[in-house]
Structure 1
């Protein structure tokens, strides 16, 4: 093989290797009822209160070939909290808990995605809740991906995290068993 051909092949290989792989952008299908943000918290150490946020939106970038480049951003309307009990929801929206008049939005913005190579990952990011921003880590599992019946392409994930209410300046005391809030996010994204 002559020197010119070797040089051309080597340069071509470098160009291909240097070509960036771009992650696909997805919009979370929260309006199509294919996503949920749910929570549960112990009630007085006796039982559980479960609920959800009915209004939220978000987007993420994901590339199955380079998952560690993934990014996520989610906005939550805190007044949309729904624990299936109107009076309790009114209390959760009050200054004792979410104080939705002062803090109408909660937000999560990822800072790092670490793929574990087995369908699970750790998603680190900043959660802003009740006017306080703190780092949180979500344990993530990938559901699947593929074409949908409407000509689009979707990918799904589920993430879970535990947060301490006091870390977000929510100090209403329901006892030590009720200091930890368990969050679960189930998302299906539609590729843009």
Structure 2
């Protein structure tokens, strides 16, 4: 019995590094990752902003890219449009309703590789307490060893969605129904 338990533990230990070697933590500590947004303001200009606090991880194996996955949590209270009064309004129930929904999340459910390291990432995006499946086209920026001996991999992507789909209906003009999100992430392999 002891030999069986020892063999099972040894087998689990030997197979764990292979799976673990393809896990990456998004480098928010080193500020090598960004979640930014762009939306029309009354049709006269664009409002640009970002979320300063978020975390996440992703799995990516070059030999099996179809198994890629991503998990990201955004602190919506960290919204930053470079204007304190506007940011208070964005945090209100007119927009992000951070008292009720302090986080936005993305959990991937599938990945369709394009053969160049990127592809179409599908997943559940939750914002303002509402969840919808979205398709997020991503591009691999690069991968390799950094000057300190760590393996890094980076991706970027842009998508647009309709704010009303997430129960955000505040009127900013007819050109402000959709918002564009830009994501740039750099992960450190664990």
State the TM bucket, normalised to the shorter chain.
0.7 to 0.9
Displacement of 1:128 in angstroms is 0.5
The corresponding residue for 1:127 is 125
RMSD, matched Cα: 1.3
Q: Which runs of 4+ in 1 moved over 6 A?
A: none
The corresponding residue for 2:5 is none
Matches within 5 A, 1:63-102: 63-102=61-100
Give me the TM-score of the superposition, normalised by structure 2.
Answer: 0.88
Task: Report the Cα distance in structure 2 between the residues aligned to 1:156 and 1:89, rounded to whole angstroms.
Answer: 29
Corresponding residue SS for 1:79: helix
The corresponding residue for 1:108 is 106
List alignment gaps of at least 5 residues for structure 1. 1-18
Give me the TM-score of the superposition, normalised by structure 1.
Answer: 0.87
Alpha-carbon displacement from aligned partner over 1:27-76 (angstroms, at most 9, x marks no partner): 00011110000000000111100000000000000001111100000000
The corresponding residue for 1:16 is none
Structure with higher Rg: it is: 1
The corresponding residue for 1:4 is none
Task: Report the Cα distance in structure 2 between the residues aligned to 1:51 and 1:36, rounded to whole angstroms.
Answer: 10
- The total of aligned residue pairs comes to 173
The corresponding residue for 1:167 is 165
Displacement of 1:119 in angstroms is 4.1
